[in-house]
Structure 1
């Protein structure tokens, strides 16, 4: 059974429990070895009030780690629910890497407070990271790596290693007096070697070093081609900046893929499955507005051939707007659902809440754009009845798109079909049929 299949079962298990028992169920899973990344995915699968309650009941030492593993909007939804005291206590537990991860998604005043609470050593590491751009690997390097002089003996190296407070390392980095990188050794090789052996004799061959200015995508590709679980990052002077490991590469690769997937509908990979209805409506509404401009362009093009169109010329000109607005609204919902299904975050326990959430978003955006488009159409053709007709069709089509954007991928998944491939085709057909039927059907009743 895959990790995501296990996750689906665990989400279902928590969903089926009584609300007051859900934190206990989650904590039992943590005691059985669940990692912070999986806990973060579980929290994302619950409506905001439930996820905040679950997060509060987590072991204190997991609070920051779990928040860092969640998407930006999910993290913000939890932080927004905290009291001032709770927020300050949470920020006080941040380290430099976590703060770097959070920095782009939090208000400046919260980031400033978090910086003021950082310990001196962590603040220095945070400042070093900020010397690099967001897309440069130097910004995301783990700077807490074990380094020892390259020209000492194994017995001396063991003494230095014992003084480190870090967890047992897999790799150790060798540096010279100027802190330039001189190689990487396996910790296990150090333990097995004779005490008088020089540590530089254990240096691993064919280790790829990454420039701190390398992009995230290029760094991930280098990590994929490497046989090592971590790679060193060097600056232009060959000084050791830190490392990235396979977990970071895997997480970054997933974010790059999700960003590309979501970008096609004006959304991003950080979007929350259960974001507040008004906030989601506003965010998606912007993209609907952009889409409206392209739909109007298509309608104007049809209008150029007015003389060859029958007496229902106005209907023919406005039809593409109805279909297009439903199509983009449905695509937004469909993309969000397909992504969540890929992570097995959707279960029988949260389907109803999800449909309710999407219908609320559809209703708000439907009414908003119905008013705008209805007014434009009424003024354009000097016909209030025509404006009201298209407004009704827009409301019906966007709400239908939201509903079927959830239902279609769920049904396709049950039928063992790929919702990512087949979902958009079916959804487009549904929104076109429903939109045109609502528009032309209403028009035939009130205008002819």
Structure 2
């Protein structure tokens, strides 16, 4: 399938059409020619009551590719909406790679049903992939690579490539009899070689190789910096188990970005845009409940200084400024840390320097904005004391935000928790509590 359609315009057309008009649009050739990713994007942009009509216009041979391109929630919804016959037709087209991507988001009975339809070879590959953790590249390695034995000649290799239907720029891997990786060879080099030259003498043995237990981040970075179409992946015995190509690397990068973006709101990158209301409400309710607990903690801190707030109304007016400045400063540091950790740029060796750097930035920004806000508050309420009080609160809170913006993701990472998911909630709570305590505590000392 190809993609020559403006999806945003197509979505507008479908949304503005009635049911009969939508069916006509769904039958248009340009929709039939959409590539899997584009079709999945179009499908996810439609309300639930319009989706199955569109799904039925999709050729059967494209079902697996489109389902794999979908978010997990959407894929699960489609599969649950299929009849038993339709489901069997879809599962019958699955290979081990697609099933690996589906496995974490579908009920166990569906997975077992799909496994029953796999070939013996695909079942073995699926079982091997499941030996790896979700964050290890071995789980996602494409095992269907073109490998040739090192002992054959260049002439024999070209015959085999023609038989296999070799297409440029697929990588050609050279291996031993027991599948141990030797090196890579490109098609041009093979064509220019003497016919009887052994592949072992032509192979590039200095190419970059990924170990199967490498993290997804490490693998993506390796592909990005290698300037190669794909990289080989080997196991602990240096046996070739598959490859990662640029397409998979880009997909993993996108998923990581979406995961971080959605995690900041307590959501998953797999969440469906038009997920059922009750299902989405339950998911979001948990996050709202956590937020409520943090807000209660901040409110309890404020209540400790109820007497001083009652006497000086200006403090209640200025409190949101203290909380906001600390929250923004903290989120900047936290975002920087999460990105650095995702890129493996934050290590035990540079954490102290990074903390020192962020505290320096926090101190300079804290003093700068404390002076400006203090002057404005003092003029606003005609009270130099009010200006001095909020200045103290701002300085303390911004420095605290920098400190915990570095510490929180490090601690969460050691606890095997996702810093992107939990970091912002904890940081907001810390900056609110510390900011209010510093601001109102200083006010109590100086005004009462």
TM range (shorter): 0.5 to 0.7
| Deviation for aligned residue 1:84 | 1.8
Alignment correspondent of 1:347? none
Of residues 183-192 and 218-227 in structure 1, the stretch that sits farther from structure 2 once superposed is 183-192
Match for residue 27 of structure 2 among 24, 27, 38: 24
Q: CA 1:191 to 1:52, structure 2 compared with 1: closer, same or farther past 3 Å?
A: farther
Of residues 261-270 and 154-163 in structure 1, the stretch that sits farther from structure 2 once superposed is 154-163
Q: Secondary structure at the match of 2:110?
A: helix
Q: Is the 8 A contact 1:22 1:54 kept in 2?
A: no
**1:377-416 correspondence to structure 2 within 5 Å:** none
Alignment correspondent of 1:122? 122
Of residues 3-12 and 84-93 in structure 1, the stretch that sits farther from structure 2 once superposed is 3-12
Q: CA 1:153 to 1:72, structure 2 compared with 1: closer, same or farther past 3 Å?
A: same
Q: CA 1:14 to 1:184, structure 2 compared with 1: closer, same or farther past 3 Å?
A: farther
Q: Is the 8 A contact 1:153 1:199 kept in 2?
A: yes
In structure 1, how many angstroms separate the alpha carbons of the residues matched to 2:288 and 2:4? 32
Q: Is the 8 A contact 1:153 1:196 kept in 2?
A: yes
| Deviation for aligned residue 1:167 | 6.1
Q: Secondary structure at the match of 2:116?
A: helix
In structure 2, how many angstroms separate the alpha carbons of the residues matched to 1:178 and 1:126? 21
Q: Is the 8 A contact 1:15 1:22 kept in 2?
A: no
| Deviation for aligned residue 1:75 | 0.8
In structure 2, how many angstroms separate the alpha carbons of the residues matched to 1:14 and 1:306? 56
In structure 1, how many angstroms separate the alpha carbons of the residues matched to 2:213 and 2:44? 33
In structure 2, how many angstroms separate the alpha carbons of the residues matched to 1:30 and 1:188? 37
In structure 2, how many angstroms separate the alpha carbons of the residues matched to 1:173 and 1:10? 43
Max Rg structure: 2
Q: CA 1:297 to 1:76, structure 2 compared with 1: closer, same or farther past 3 Å?
A: same
* Number of residue equivalences: 315
Q: CA 1:142 to 1:193, structure 2 compared with 1: closer, same or farther past 3 Å?
A: same
> Where do 5+ consecutive residues of structure 1 fail to align?
325-448
Q: CA 1:71 to 1:242, structure 2 compared with 1: closer, same or farther past 3 Å?
A: same
Instruction: Please list the CA deviations of residues 237-293 of structure 1 after superposition, one character each: whole Å capped at 9, or x if unmatched.
Output: 110010000010001001111111111111011111111111111110110011010
Alignment correspondent of 1:81? 81
**1:67-78 correspondence to structure 2 within 5 Å:** 67-78=67-78
| Deviation for aligned residue 1:41 | 1.4
Q: Secondary structure at the match of 2:76?
A: helix
Alignment correspondent of 1:97? 97
**Higher-RCO chain (CA-CA 8 Å, sequence separation at least 6):** 1
In structure 1, how many angstroms separate the alpha carbons of the residues matched to 2:48 and 2:213? 38
Instruction: Please list the CA deviations of residues 139-177 of structure 1 after superposition, one character each: whole Å capped at 9, or x if unmatched.
Output: 100001111111211221122233437766621111111
Alignment correspondent of 1:424? none
Q: CA 1:205 to 1:183, structure 2 compared with 1: closer, same or farther past 3 Å?
A: closer
Q: CA 1:86 to 1:166, structure 2 compared with 1: closer, same or farther past 3 Å?
A: farther
Instruction: Please list the CA deviations of residues 5-39 of structure 1 after superposition, one character each: whole Å capped at 9, or x if unmatched.
Output: 943344345545521123223x42443xx421222
| Deviation for aligned residue 1:111 | 0.9
Superposition CA RMSD, Å: 2.9
In structure 2, how many angstroms separate the alpha carbons of the residues matched to 1:161 and 1:126? 26
Q: Is the 8 A contact 2:32 2:57 kept in 1?
A: no
**1:8-157 correspondence to structure 2 within 5 Å:** 8-15=8-15, 18-25=21-28, 27-31=29-33, 34-157=34-157
Alignment correspondent of 2:254? 254
Alignment correspondent of 2:225? 225
In structure 1, how many angstroms separate the alpha carbons of the residues matched to 2:43 and 2:188? 37
| Deviation for aligned residue 1:309 | 4.3
Q: Secondary structure at the match of 2:274?
A: coil
Alignment correspondent of 2:187? 187
**1:364-443 correspondence to structure 2 within 5 Å:** none
> Where do 5+ consecutive residues of structure 2 fail to align?
325-448
In structure 1, how many angstroms separate the alpha carbons of the residues matched to 2:235 and 2:91? 30
**1:286-325 correspondence to structure 2 within 5 Å:** 286-310=286-310
Instruction: Please list the CA deviations of residues 355-395 of structure 1 after superposition, one character each: whole Å capped at 9, or x if unmatched.
Output: xxxxxxxxxxxxxxxxxxxxxxxxxxxxxxxxxxxxxxxxx
Q: Is the 8 A contact 1:103 1:111 kept in 2?
A: yes
| Deviation for aligned residue 1:120 | 1.1
In structure 1, how many angstroms separate the alpha carbons of the residues matched to 2:167 and 2:120? 21
In structure 2, how many angstroms separate the alpha carbons of the residues matched to 1:39 and 1:213? 33
Of residues 74-83 and 166-175 in structure 1, the stretch that sits farther from structure 2 once superposed is 166-175
In structure 2, how many angstroms separate the alpha carbons of the residues matched to 1:21 and 1:56? 13
Q: In the alignment, is residue 264 of structure 1 matched against residue 267 of structure 2?
A: no
TM-score by length of 1: 0.65
Q: Secondary structure at the match of 1:117?
A: coil
Q: CA 1:52 to 1:178, structure 2 compared with 1: closer, same or farther past 3 Å?
A: same
Q: CA 1:168 to 1:29, structure 2 compared with 1: closer, same or farther past 3 Å?
A: farther
Alignment correspondent of 1:419? none
In structure 2, how many angstroms separate the alpha carbons of the residues matched to 1:50 and 1:213? 42
| Deviation for aligned residue 1:69 | 0.8
Alignment correspondent of 2:433? none
Q: Is the 8 A contact 1:230 1:245 kept in 2?
A: yes
| Deviation for aligned residue 1:310 | 4.0
